[in-house]
Structure 1
Amino acid sequence: MTSIDLARIAIYLAIVTGLAVLLGRWLVVAAGPRAAAARIPLIGAAEAGILRLAGVGPGRETGWLGYALAVIAFNYAGFLLLYGVLRLQHLLPWNPLDIGPMAPAVAFNTAISFVTNTNWQAYSGEAELTSFAQAVGLGTQNFLSAATGIAVMVALARGFARAEATTLGDFTTDLTRITLRLLLPLAAIVAVLLVLQGVPQVMQGVLHSIGLDGGAQTIPLGPVASQVAIKQLGTNGGGFYGVNSAHPLENPTIWSNLIEMVAILALPAAMPLAFGRLIGDPRQGRALFLAMLIPFMVMVGLIVWAELAGNPIHQALGVDPAMGNMEGKEVRFGAVDSGIWAAATTAASNGSVNAMHDSFTPLGGMVAMLGMLLGEVIFGGVGSGLYGLILFAVIAVFAAGLMVGRTPEYLGKKIEAREMTLAMLALIGLAVAMLVPAALTAVLPVAAAAVQEAGPHGLSEILYAYGSAAGNNGSAFAGFGAAQTFHAIAIGVSMMIGRYLPVLVVLAIAGSLAAKKRLPATAGTLPTHGPLFIGLLIAVVLIIGGLTYFPALALGPVAEHLAMLAGRLS
């Protein structure tokens, strides 16, 4: 790895950190009742009108159960509407290629995918979706699923900030404010920047060209820039085109590549800093930010190093070692930008790609996979990554309390059996959603038929698919046949468990904490904003992930890596 490579990584991290500070402040304003954004006439009027139509009066709040039921009901309605759009898209406008209805199982999978902020794509967007389905169906859920995750994070912050309270806020109000004040303005800015780089933004049309082989090509056009903007900012992932941001129209220049890479982490990195401000202690937010940033830096370093080192099997056949592993990568981005993107997209629950992860080295693919298997808490999805990390923080302070013989506390609230039980329920449920269907895929012939490769790499395809689904990431090893009915349904179920079980657990914990008294800090209180706790939190995340997933990883990417070093394909 050269000094130039290190400088590119450092510049990327510096840009993300700077934006995280600014957006963390913006998010606090956007979530507040007297936000400056509400005084902008257009946004203020739209917000008031939406809340009035929804029947939400000023100051309305609910307890954790009411908040949770509102989340589930709203998301279920969104699923039904999106499923209807996908099944009826041939009857709706903006269909210049005369695309038919999506198959029922794939429509089920896709509707769940976008409602859960996963954006797993068991289809090729430009070939199987109309511009109406892309813009109105998927685009709407790109905003609302992201806003849902942020709203749950804000409710959790209220649980820590309040004392002897019975309410956590109102979901409809939070959703509306976050969408109008934060996501829409940001998406508009990023979309304009992408259009300036040459990304299309039209409602219908095709581009006719002649390929290098002399054959005619018909390339669909559509609302690409707007889709890319919110898919990146909202950690939705996916893409207008089947190959995502490896497509020259979705990601045409090195500048569009940088814009999209920064957008992946901009809001997830801002979440812990916003959380610290929402609870009234910015030091706690900075500690959580560092607990995300440090493992992410290690991820970036390992993936880029592995891809630059290349594949000794290729090198034995005459490939220049200086090129690194360029299989499945765009030459214009190379191993470094492809590696940074892979680390960012799998750490941030985004799922978009500018290179094919199936073609990464075994170690590079494993590190990307590990970001998802750890529960998407190394930045993770907007909102969901932060509240997922808080679950690990609850376990960390409980373990510390056992070591020193004190009742564990976190952010001024006593952590008791109820909170620990709920936190473990979420983590165990996530592991079940990943490993059980993966095991079934390995042993059931009807499921195993979707696996492209035999041996360790085939197991890696399976682990990646269900880790991505339950982690609400959405990326995939390209060889996996996700459109098969068994996997379309099983992956849909995994996505639901991975999304809604943590949501219910987090809101239940928030309700429990809000009802408790605030405990004053004493000489025996464990400081949770210093290096010791940051190290403890990172260790807890890695230990739980290692104990849960290392046996499966040893049979998949670890075995494949050892075989590669020995010059064998399997």
Structure 2
Amino acid sequence: MGILQILIVIAIVVLLVKPLGTYVYHVYSNDPNKTDKWFGWLERFIYRLIGLKNRPGMTWKRYAVSFLLTNIVLVALGYLILRLQKYLPFNPNGIENMEQTLSFNTIISFMTNTNLQHYSGETGLTYFSQMAVIMMMMFTSAATGFSVAIAFIRGITGKGATIGNFFEDFVKSHTRIFIPAAVVVTLVLVALQVPQTLDPVLTVKTLEGASQNIAIGPVASLESIKHLGTNGGGFFGANSAHPFENPTPLTNVIEILSMWLLPASLPYVYGRFAKNTKQGWVVFGAMMTLFVGFLSLIYFSELRGNPAMNVLGIDASQGSMEGKEVRFGIPQSSLFSAVTTAATTGTVNNMHDTLTPLGGLGTLAEMMLNVVFGGKGVGLVNMLMYAILGVFLCGLMVGRTPEFLGRKIEPREMKLIAIAILAHPFIILAPTAIAFLTDLGQGSITNPGSHGISQVLYEYTSSAANNGSGFEGLADNTPFWNLTTGLVMLLGRYISMIAMLAVAGSLVRKQWVPETIGTFRTDNGLFYGILIGTVLIIGALTFLPAIVLGPIAEHLKLG
């Protein structure tokens, strides 16, 4: 039954990829289509409001500057609200202003679509901050990432001189995708008993006669965009393990589909832009193959139970249920963990710190590779980066100038791709080493030995991949962790984005080269295998030593 539950959800995703991908393609193709009748009037009003009468195409540099400046303005506004939330409206519970290093970490976290939380939502933020900062940035950070991904697709597939207009893409991301979808999902969640209110905490009498405060608030609206935008930050500290955020197995499936469907549809969108849907299905197939492999590792590791418990002879017939909700069990907990780290969402319905060593390895590996569907465009952009690298390596082996989608791949593109590939492991492994070399870092590690290594490695991997989940045994709300993870989140978000926009800008200006009998095809089974092999080889070369010291060593020791 557990495997059947998982297969049904995967089947739903596969069936919806084409229709959803077709809709997303029409949103960003800039060709007249039916969606213009539904949303065009609202967008024209917004364009007039912000003074965007003309929307000419941008070079990659102008596109990058536009999205960076937009993000900077939103960061400044959000930081100010967090520092002054005590004096702002909708604070019925009397919550104080957020400390400065925690405010820095929080605002960077949500602007970079990471949503790493070093605070507990129901006690650290007012209702106004939850809505005006957290929810606002859940929309805008997702829209930014989606826009950049579409611009990259245009650059590598188009024959024009520009990659689109950022502000037009940014507005369309809100009006045609995230806001309508969030409204629908919010209403569904409210119908399924997820709270949506501005009332203060409830004070109730327990069976013993004591008083208990129960936090509530605008939960359903935050939950919808939290998953649709692959954000992950929970209204409550327990995130989607909390019964108010995720009360039933049905809401669990809805949240899984919400965070998975848009990233899964992007390879098909890429195929439509390339005028060859086989291109998209090859990329989708590679992503799904990697996903099923890591999901299997997590599921069967949790199903076998904790190695330490097994050695003691304790009954493990129900699997490793530590840190998991009984209403979800092993199947839906494992699937949720696999999807949230594959889609770089970061929301959790079970505590990853209590996963078995190999189960934790599965979640770590998905974030380290950062190509298994990914968040709003991250996975596709990174996978296409590996695709270009694979074509380049194959071209070198046969002594032919590599070509990708009719354009020659030359040293400039490969230097930029190398920067993006090397930056990711560097901003994970270097801070991890620093944390172990300083008293400020070591003082927060609550578990000695290999599991402590996994805790620190997971924290920086989650930050660099803009995921946001954590091994919550780490005492991370300190200036050291707030500042270091904040910097890692910034670098993890913007280095790869700018590098890949530069690649798109370089390719879009190149003359198209007609296909010949010697052209290396990228829409067949051979390239599917090369793509998976390239991802796994580079991932193993960069991260295997650290994984051996952490989860693998812990598994061998416990086993």
Q: TM range, normalised to the smaller chain? A: over 0.9
Q: Does 1:479 align with 2:477?
A: no
Give the structure 2 partner of residue 490 of structure 1.
Answer: 484
2:28 to 28, 31, 38: 31
Q: Does 1:516 align with 2:510?
A: yes
Instruction: Give SS of 1:323's match.
Output: coil
Give the structure 1 partner of residue 215 of structure 2.
Answer: 220
The answer on whether the counterparts of 2:307 and 2:555 sit within 8 Å (CA) in structure 1 is no
Q: Distance in 2 between matches of 1:272 and 1:429?
A: 24
2:242 to 235, 247, 250: 247
Give the structure 1 partner of residue 403 of structure 2.
Answer: 409
1:455 to 449, 472, 476: 449
Which residue identity does 1:37 align to in structure 2?
Answer: T
- Shift, 1:213, TM fit: 6.9
Instruction: Give SS of 1:88's match.
Output: helix
- Shift, 1:346, TM fit: 0.5
Q: Distance in 2 between matches of 1:326 and 1:161?
A: 47
1:526 to 505, 520, 524: 520
Q: Which moved more, 1:316-325 or 1:355-364?
A: 316-325
Give the structure 2 partner of residue 18 of structure 1.
Answer: 15
- Shift, 1:214, TM fit: 6.0
Which residue identity does 1:23 align to in structure 2?
Answer: L
What does the per-residue CA deviation read over 1:518-564, in whole Å, with 9 as the maximum and x for residues that have no partner? Answer: 11111111111111111111111111111001101101101000011
Give the structure 2 partner of residue 507 of structure 1.
Answer: 501
Distance 1:379 1:213, change over 3 A: farther
What does the per-residue CA deviation read over 1:47-92, in whole Å, with 9 as the maximum and x for residues that have no partner? Answer: 1122122222334121010000001111111111111111111111
Which residue identity does 1:7 align to in structure 2?
Answer: L
- Percent sequence identity is 44
Structure 1, unaligned runs of 5 or more: 566-570
Q: Does 1:552 align with 2:546?
A: yes
- Shift, 1:212, TM fit: 7.1
Give the structure 1 partner of residue 126 of structure 2.
Answer: 130
Q: Which moved more, 1:306-315 or 1:455-464?
A: 306-315
Give the structure 1 partner of residue 85 of structure 2.
Answer: 89
Instruction: Give SS of 2:317's match.
Output: helix
- Shift, 1:316, TM fit: 4.4
The answer on whether the counterparts of 2:85 and 2:97 sit within 8 Å (CA) in structure 1 is yes
Q: Does 1:426 align with 2:420?
A: yes
Q: Does 1:470 align with 2:464?
A: yes
Give the structure 1 partner of residue 191 of structure 2.
Answer: 196
Which residue identity does 2:189 align to in structure 1?
Answer: L
Which residue identity does 1:422 align to in structure 2?
Answer: L
Give the structure 2 partner of residue 154 of structure 1.
Answer: 150
Q: Distance in 2 between matches of 1:167 and 1:16?
A: 33
- Shift, 1:215, TM fit: 4.3
The correspondence of residues 341-420 of structure 1 with structure 2, limited to 5 A, is 341-374=336-369, 376-420=370-414
Q: Distance in 2 between matches of 1:203 and 1:418?
A: 53
Q: Does 1:324 align with 2:319?
A: yes
Instruction: Give SS of 1:94's match.
Output: coil
- Shift, 1:508, TM fit: 0.4
2:4 to 7, 18, 21: 7
The answer on whether the counterparts of 2:55 and 2:168 sit within 8 Å (CA) in structure 1 is no
The answer on whether the counterparts of 2:111 and 2:137 sit within 8 Å (CA) in structure 1 is yes
What does the per-residue CA deviation read over 1:5-24, in whole Å, with 9 as the maximum and x for residues that have no partner? Answer: 22111101011122222221
Q: Distance in 2 between matches of 1:205 and 1:270?
A: 39
Distance 1:354 1:169, change over 3 A: same
- Shift, 1:211, TM fit: 5.3
The answer on whether the counterparts of 1:265 and 1:344 sit within 8 Å (CA) in structure 2 is yes
- Shift, 1:232, TM fit: 0.5
The answer on whether the counterparts of 2:158 and 2:273 sit within 8 Å (CA) in structure 1 is no
Q: CA RMSD in A?
A: 1.3
Instruction: Give SS of 2:213's match.
Output: strand
The answer on whether the counterparts of 2:3 and 2:331 sit within 8 Å (CA) in structure 1 is no
The answer on whether the counterparts of 1:94 and 1:204 sit within 8 Å (CA) in structure 2 is no
The answer on whether the counterparts of 2:75 and 2:107 sit within 8 Å (CA) in structure 1 is yes
The answer on whether the counterparts of 1:470 and 1:495 sit within 8 Å (CA) in structure 2 is yes
Which residue identity does 1:332 align to in structure 2?
Answer: R
Q: Distance in 2 between matches of 1:11 and 1:223?
A: 31
Instruction: Give SS of 1:321's match.
Output: coil
Q: Distance in 1 between matches of 2:470 and 2:511?
A: 45
1:229 to 224, 247, 259: 224
Give the structure 2 partner of residue 568 of structure 1.
Answer: none
Q: Distance in 1 between matches of 2:208 and 2:386?
A: 53
Q: Does 1:260 align with 2:258?
A: no
Which residue identity does 1:319 align to in structure 2?
Answer: I
Runs of at least 4 residues off by over 6 Å: none
TM-score, normalising length: structure 1: 0.96
Which residue identity does 2:235 align to in structure 1?
Answer: F
Give the structure 1 partner of residue 98 of structure 2.
Answer: 102
Which residue identity does 2:445 align to in structure 1?
Answer: V
Q: Distance in 1 between matches of 2:259 and 2:298?
A: 17
Distance 1:131 1:347, change over 3 A: same
Which residue identity does 2:37 align to in structure 1?
Answer: R
Q: Which moved more, 1:378-387 or 1:350-359?
A: 378-387
Q: Distance in 1 between matches of 2:19 and 2:205?
A: 45
Which residue identity does 1:291 align to in structure 2?
Answer: A
Instruction: Give SS of 2:348's match.
Output: coil
What does the per-residue CA deviation read over 1:219-238, in whole Å, with 9 as the maximum and x for residues that have no partner? Answer: 22111111111111111112
What does the per-residue CA deviation read over 1:155-193, in whole Å, with 9 as the maximum and x for residues that have no partner? Answer: 112112323x43211101100011110111111111111
Which residue identity does 1:248 align to in structure 2?
Answer: P
Instruction: Give SS of 2:73's match.
Output: helix
Q: Distance in 1 between matches of 2:74 and 2:379?
A: 22
Q: Does 1:121 align with 2:103?
A: no
Give the structure 2 partner of residue 442 of structure 1.
Answer: 436
2:529 to 529, 535, 546: 535
The answer on whether the counterparts of 1:85 and 1:133 sit within 8 Å (CA) in structure 2 is yes
Q: Distance in 2 between matches of 1:301 and 1:214?
A: 46
What does the per-residue CA deviation read over 1:249-283, in whole Å, with 9 as the maximum and x for residues that have no partner? Answer: 00011110110111121111011111111222211
Q: Distance in 1 between matches of 2:424 and 2:208?
A: 47
Which residue identity does 2:251 align to in structure 1?
Answer: S
Structure 2, unaligned runs of 5 or more: none
Instruction: Give SS of 1:217's match.
Output: strand
TM-score, normalising length: structure 2: 0.98
- Shift, 1:318, TM fit: 5.3
Q: Distance in 2 between matches of 1:48 and 1:496?
A: 33
Q: Distance in 2 between matches of 1:243 and 1:529?
A: 43
Q: Distance in 2 between matches of 1:252 and 1:211?
A: 21
- Shift, 1:296, TM fit: 0.2
The answer on whether the counterparts of 1:95 and 1:204 sit within 8 Å (CA) in structure 2 is no
- Shift, 1:204, TM fit: 3.2
Distance 1:404 1:253, change over 3 A: same
Q: Distance in 2 between matches of 1:14 and 1:216?
A: 46
Q: Distance in 2 between matches of 1:213 and 1:261?
A: 37
- Shift, 1:46, TM fit: 2.3
